[in-house]
């Protein structure tokens, strides 16, 4: 919610997280540090289309420039969290047949999906902006352990195939 267009690098395919939205205020990140979060090609397309649509809407209203915020309200200011959550986010979850979750849970989903795709914990730590890999392991280690069992099963299956080939 604290994302501004100047934070989005379409060419470099990343977002710089400089601020967060806490208790109705835009603040520095919890650590006070900036971090880069990589964007997928699909996200780049969605944000580009959103920016184009925003520009068209603002031009129709006679405004010659889009707001600095990626997700502005009607006045061009950051969206109000509870308004967004109750009017849009919760309804999207309901329409998709998903249980109610917090915005913060999307962060955990992102990390979990990266782990399940085999990304390194060091990369995930950097994407989340965590100060230590220990924190990443403490929060997401249980997912890695499940992946490790699959690795052991693959070794066993590969050895059986090798023995069968001999």
List domains and CATH numbers for the chain: 1-100 (1.10.443.10), 101-166 (no CATH)
pLDDT of residue 137: 83
CA atoms in the 13 A half-sphere facing the CB of 65: 4
Question: What is the mean pLDDT for each group of 10 consecutive residues in the chain (166 residues)?
Answer: 92 91 70 86 96 92 88 87 87 93 89 88 90 84 62 64 64
- Identify whether the C-beta of residue 124 lies closer than 8 Å to the C-beta of residue 140: yes
Altogether, the residues listed in the chain come to a count of 166
pTM above 0.85, yes or no: no
C-alpha 164: how far from chain center: 45
Q: Kindly give, in sequence order, each residue whose CB lies less than 8 Å from that of residue 50, ignoring residues fewer than 6 positions away.
A: 70
pLDDT of residue 122: 92
* φ, ψ for residue 38, nearest 5 deg: -70, 145
pLDDT of residue 82: 83
Following DSSP, what letter does each residue of 26-94 receive, concatenated? EEE-TTS--EEEE--HHHHHHHHHHHHHHHHHHHHTT-SS--SBSSB-TTSSBPPHHHHIIIIIHHHHH
């Amino acid at each position: 919610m604290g994302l501004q267009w100047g934070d989005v690098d379409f060419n470099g395919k990343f977002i710089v997280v400089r601020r967060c939205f806490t208790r109705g205020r835009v603040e520095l990140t919890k650590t006070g540090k900036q971090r880069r979060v990589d964007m997928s090609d699909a996200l780049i397309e969605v944000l580009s289309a959103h920016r184009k649509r925003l520009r068209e809407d603002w031009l129709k209203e006679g405004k010659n420039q889009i707001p600095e915020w990626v997700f502005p309200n009607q006045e061009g200011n950051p969206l109000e969290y509870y308004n967004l959550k109750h009017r849009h986010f919760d309804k999207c979850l309901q329409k998709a047949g998903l249980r109610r979750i917090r915005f913060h849970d999307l962060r955990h989903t992102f990390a979990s999906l990266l782990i399940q795709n085999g990304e390194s914990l060091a990369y995930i730590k950097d994407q989340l902006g965590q100060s230590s890999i220990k924190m990443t392991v403490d929060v997401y280690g249980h997912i890695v352990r499940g992946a490790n069992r699959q690795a052991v099963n693959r070794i066993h299956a590969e050895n059986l195939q090798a023995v069968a080939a001999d």
